Structure 1
Amino acid sequence: MHLPNRLVFPLLALWLLCSISITAFAAPPNSRQLYERIRPSVVEVVTQNRANLGVSSVASGFVTHRKDWVITNYHAISDSIFEPDDNGLHVVSLDQGELKAEIIAVDIQNDLAILKVEQTLRVPLLELRETLPDRGESGYSMGKPGSYQHSIVTGTFNGVSDKTSTPLIIFSGAINGGMSGGPTLDGYGRVVGVNVATSTKYQLVGLAVPAEAVGQLIRRNTQQKIPSLDELRKDIARQVSAFNQQIVMRFDLPTHSVRRLGPFQVRGDISREQPCSAIRKDTPNDHYKRIDQRCDSSTSLYISDQQNAGHIVMGSFWFNSEKMSSHGLARLVEDQLTHLRNVKKSDGPTASWHCTEQRLRGRFDLPIQLNACRRAVEKLPGLFDFRFRYIPLVPGPDALLVAVSMSGFDDQSAKAILLKSMDSLSFTPKAAP
């Protein structure tokens, strides 16, 4: 039957409108339907300890972009990078069982890793949604919590937390141990994030890495070649150095980050999220006053169970005594310095400490005695732990000792932070009566 043109176009428009309306207002699947659809694409990521044939860690992962690639958390697979002889990496799928896996790439700042599985997985690829969910939007988290079966958890998205080195999605759902690396989903089953942590202080507060970071990591790693462990470690060291440079750039805080301890001006808050703390330690019997200030950076990068990177602690110790001789006050400061620089020759997963002493000039030509110690971080070329201790050499009843500790820094960034700390230092002696 042939319809006249004046009827064809209105009917076509009505059909298109109905199709768009049905698509736009189609009800999202319920949790049971979503679980059945997504479950095959969610896997276990298992690190097996070869020494005792046991399991050292179990996490979750999911399949997207390629059917032989699995996305998971970096912290779940770090043992395989730094202790490869002791730890084997496997992926357990729903219908193909346990399969060997190798690491394609890592993003330590976003706690992400891409694994390549030895066989193509016969599962659907999950879709990434690289836009943040709205506050109040409903969603789901999937993974395998501990020894329990794979689970789906309902929750609500509540914005983004900026209290870490990278933004994390806040999800009011129970993300339990073992679900790390699994997908955080919107109501239609699209991946909006990767389960990464849960609050130890507040109930039902989970955190997820935004899917945009997953997409960026995939787009940066389109190569087919699996990198060697040395290449992976060099890339991790490069990422740490880039993170260090961000810390240096953020280190120039407003003037409220400078504080006074007696006649001295010293560096204050390292980060706005974690203000410095100070404790007065008056000791009348010993005839001197003392204030200890501690300033701590709020963020660091997880490298392994034995090593974090980008962490800074600054301590400033002010001593005042009208009754002690200059020699007695100097000995008091020297005792504190000896205690602070009492580092072991070899401890942890790093090399021995190497220390030097030097005299230099600070701001306003202030003479400073500097003790500097450095040790290499094992298996991460170009990264070191640092311990700096410096004392302004001033006359009178006041003395100051500043201690700066840095974990996992490159030389250039460590030097820049030390100089910024010393540049804050000044001394204003009391006016004569």
Structure 2
Amino acid sequence: MLKQAFLYLASIFIFISQIPLASAQDQSTQLFEQLKNRVFQVKVIDIASGNKSSIGSGFLVANDHLIATNYHVVSSYLLNPEKYKLVLLDNQQQSQELAIVDFDIIHDLALLKTKALPYKPLVIETSQPAKGNRIYSMGNPHDLGMTIIEGTYNGLVEGSRYQKYLFSGSLNPGMSGGPAFNSRGEIIGINVSKGGEQISFLVPAFHLADLIKRYRQNGEIAQADYNSHIYAALYADQDAYYQHILNLDWSTTSFMNYDLPDKIDSSLKCWGHIKSKDKDLYKNVHRHCRTEDRVYLDNNFYTGGFSYDYSHFSTEQLNTIRFYNLLQSRHNISGFYNGNKEDASNFVCTSNYITLNDSEWKATTCAREYLNYKGLYDASLIATRVDQYKESLHLSIRMIGISQHNLLNISDRFLELVSWKK
């Protein structure tokens, strides 16, 4: 009897354990069948060659002819509309041309219009799902065909300058711009990027709702205004961010025998380490703070980064000349592997010797201006202490896509807080 009861309970357990798996599989299948006609491939076609330049995904939203996708999917067209055209490909392999009506470069979104489609638009859900909920993503990875991916919603990414949802699913190139939705088929996010194995990111759907609202209020952006629209968004974004930073009460941290600005905003991540090997004649201690977000402008050209690094050098073996040569070798701009010669001017640098709290420093400011967005710069402040013979501090601040007045204000604020313990 006991054996029979055990076998009976075991069979019930096995039966119950199989139900969620079957249900989840059925739900993915049902959602795919329900939504497949409203999710598309978006192609950027090079007019001269007739070949595709880039691909992504998009979906029907708002009415019978509006398509949502990522800005970065269609950026080459936006920046050079005379060289490219946009094409929509449905699940029947039927194509038609697209046009841009509005875009949000900061949140990597674009709205496109096409001829009227015989499908209902997808519903946008602006509230966040509960953390741990199952969500689904659709798109066309690597031009292999439309797929659906199941994963878990893990909330807003912590310590992020730009709001993104963390999705435990594996997005791949070509899925950018596709929809992510809940079990009811409502859009909760837009595929945007992959962060690692089973780690991906979504643009929250409330940003798409805001873009649609703006389009309804203001109408279509003219092709001649694409560049000015990008500039206005970039300038406003950096101004809001750096004014927010400047209005904070900056705390300081003890770093070696110095007091320096600490993590000044939740959008920054900070860490430290030491570099010291037996063959080295000096010790080098580092601390880094930086944002991990950026705004996509074009291929290999990003903006929106902010970081600062501290390096402390000390030696008992190097003589004064060799120690100063070491400091001079580190006193240069770095970390600007960004864009091409068509995107920004060459760096122009200015150096001065300054006094900070009775200590002498060499300070160098370097900046290059964006060629298509005048008034925005990639810039760096480098400062190295030069009045000690056995130890020195090197600090470097990098600001990507900043205005001149914000550059000056951030640099001055940093230097005001630098002090050392005599």
How far apart, CA to CA, are the structure 2 residues paired with 1:137 and 1:397?
Answer: 57
Matched, 1:411 2:404: yes
Partner of residue 392 from structure 2, selected from 399, 402, 413: 399
Tell me, yes or no, if structure 1 residue 125 matches structure 2 residue 121. yes
Q: Secondary structure at 1:146's aligned position in 2?
A: helix
Question: Whole-Å Cα distance in 2 between the matches of residues 423 and 135 of structure 1?
Answer: 42
Q: Quickly say closer, same or farther: Cα 1:191–1:340, change in 2 above 3 A.
A: closer
**Structure 1 residue identity aligned to 2:72:** H
Q: Secondary structure at the match of 1:67?
A: coil
Q: Distance in 2 between matches of 1:93 and 1:291?
A: 56
**RMSD over aligned Cα, in angstroms?**
3.3
Letter in 2 for 1:70: I
- CA shift at 1:125, angstroms? 1.6
Which residue does the alignment assign to 1:258?
253
For the residues of structure 2 that align with 1:49 and 1:399, how far apart are their CA atoms?
54
Question: Helix, strand or coil: the match of 1:166?
Answer: coil
- Indicate how the Cα distance of structure 1 residues 100 and 337 shifts in structure 2: closer, same or farther if over 3 A, else same: same
Q: Is the 8 A contact 1:283 1:289 kept in 2?
A: no
Which residue is equivalent to 2:227? 233
Instruction: State the 1:375 CA deviation.
Output: 0.9
Identify the residue that residue 59 of structure 2 maps to in structure 1: 62
Which has more radius of gyration? 1
Take 1:199 and 1:285, find their aligned partners in 2: how far apart are those partners?
36
CA-to-aligned-CA distance 1:187-243 (integer Å, 9 cap, x gap):
222222212233413x3x4432222111111111223333225x3233323323333
Q: Kindly state the Cα deviation for residue 114 of structure 1 after the two structures are TM-superposed.
A: 0.9
Return the match for 1:169 from 165, 169, 172.
165
**Alpha-carbon offset, residue 174 of structure 1:** 4.1
Structure 1 residue runs without a partner (length 5+)? 1-28
Q: Is the 8 A contact 2:64 2:117 kept in 1?
A: yes
Q: 2:97 aligns with which of 87, 97, 100?
A: 100
Following TM superposition, by how much is the alpha carbon of 1:247 offset from its aligned partner in structure 2, in angstroms? 3.9
How does 1:135-284 map onto structure 2 within 5 Å?
A: 135-201=131-197, 203=198, 205-222=199-216, 223-229=218-224, 231-248=225-242, 249-250=244-245, 252=248, 255=251, 258-261=253-256, 263-269=257-263, 274-281=269-276
CA contact (8 A) 1:271 1:296 kept: no
Sequence identity percentage: 23
Partner of 2:36: 39
Change (3 A) 1:37 1:294: closer
Counterpart-to-counterpart distance in 1, 2:317 and 2:336: 29
Secondary structure of residue in 2 paired with 1:164: coil
Structure-2 separation of matches of 1:382 and 1:413: 11
Task: Give the stretch that moved more between structures: 119-128 or 269-278.
Answer: 269-278
Structure 1 residues 219 and 396: CA distance shift in structure 2, 3 A: same
Gaps of 5+ in 2: 1-25
Describe the superposition over 1:296-349 as per-residue Cα deviations: whole angstroms up to 9, x where unpaired.
3222222222211121343333333467665554444223325869999x8473
Q: How far apart, in 1, do the equivalents of 2:236 and 2:396 lie?
A: 24
Q: Distance in 1 between matches of 2:237 and 2:86?
A: 27
Measured after TM superposition, the shift of residue 366 of structure 1 is 5.0
Q: Distance in 1 between matches of 2:135 and 2:329?
A: 57
Q: Which stretch shifts more, 291-300 or 264-273?
A: 264-273
Partner letter of residue 37 of structure 1? Q
Instruction: State the shift of 1:101 in Å.
Output: 1.9
SS across alignment from 1:77: helix
Cα 1:341–1:183 change in 2 (3 A) is: closer
Q: 1:99 to 1:373 in 2, by over 3 A?
A: same
In the superposition, relative to structure 1, how do residues 299 and 33 fare at CA in structure 2: closer, same or farther (>3 Å)?
A: closer
Structure 2 CA distance for partners of 1:396 and 1:199, relative to 1, 3 Å: closer
Equivalent residue, structure 2, for 1:21: none
2:120 maps to amino acid: P
Q: Is 1:380 aligned to residue 376 of structure 2? A: no
Distance 1:280 1:152 in 2: 46
Partner SS state of residue 275, structure 1: strand
Structure 2 CA distance for partners of 1:97 and 1:173, relative to 1, 3 Å = same
* TM-score normalised according to structure 2 size: 0.80
| Structure 1 Cα separation of the partners of residues 159 and 249 of structure 2 | 17
Q: Structure 1: which amino acid aligns with 2:121?
A: L
Distance 2:47 2:165 in 1: 36
Counterpart CA distance in 2 for 1:209 and 1:340 is 30
Which stretch shifts more, 295-304 or 154-163?
A: 154-163
Inter-partner Cα distance in structure 1 for 2:170 and 2:283? 49
Q: TM-score, normalised by structure 1?
A: 0.78
In the TM superposition, what whole-angstrom CA distance separates every residue of 1:386-428 from its partner, at most 9, and x where no partner exists?
A: 1222234535543333222222222222223222321231123
SS of residue matched to 1:335: helix
2:305 is aligned to 311
- How has the CA–CA distance of structure 1 residues 392 and 37 changed in structure 2, closer, same or farther, with 3 Å as cutoff? same
User: Is the contact between residue 63 and residue 120 of structure 2 (CA under 8 Å) also seen in structure 1?
Assistant: no
Q: CA deviation at 1:184?
A: 1.5
2:6 is aligned to none
Take 1:109 and 1:63, find their aligned partners in 2: how far apart are those partners?
21
Separation in structure 2 between the aligned mates of residue 174 and residue 392 of structure 1, nearest angstrom: 47
- Do the aligned residues in 2 keep the contact of 1:306 with 1:348 (CA within 8 Å)? no
What secondary structure, in the 3-state scheme, does the structure 1 residue paired with 2:345 have?
A: coil
- For 2:192 and 2:398, how far apart are their aligned partners in 1? 28
CA contact (8 A) 1:382 1:410 kept: yes
Shift of 1:147: 2.6
**CA, structure 1 residues 90+285, in 2 after alignment: closer, same or farther (shift >3 Å)?**
closer
- Cα separation, 1, equivalents of 2:335 and 2:29: 59
8 Å contact kept, 1:319–1:399: yes
1:298 to 288, 292, 301: 292
